[in-house]
Amino acid sequence: SLTQSRHSRHLGACAAALARFGRGERGDIGDLAVAAEQLRVARRELGRITGHVGAEEVLDIIFRDFCVGK
């Protein structure tokens, strides 16, 4: 079904972000920022399945769709 396909797509994106996180070297602050971003991406993809929407996603939609501040 469409929902299962959507879930599969989001789980795949989550797994890819976690794999990138796992491959990263975390020896300096720049690498920590990259690692943190991959964890954020993984969390966002899981949130899209569970329905958890954070403030960051809401702001992204507002700025993208309503051109606030332009």
- Taking only the tens place, the pLDDT of each residue in 16-43 is 999 998 887 565 556 788 888 899 999 9
Number of separate domains in the chain? 1
Q: Residue 68 pLDDT more than 60? A: no
70 in a domain, yes or no?
Answer: no
Supply the range of the domain harboring residue 8. 2-65
31 in a domain, yes or no?
Answer: yes
C-beta atoms surrounding 24 within 10 Å:
15
48 in a domain, yes or no?
Answer: yes
CA distances from 51 to 20, 22, 43, 47, 57 (A): 24, 26, 12, 6, 12
- Rounded to 5°, the CA angle 37-28-38 comes to 15
Q: How confident is the model at residue 57 (pLDDT cuts 50, 70, 90)?
A: confident
pLDDT value for 64: 75
Question: Structure pTM?
Answer: 0.68
44 in a domain, yes or no?
Answer: yes
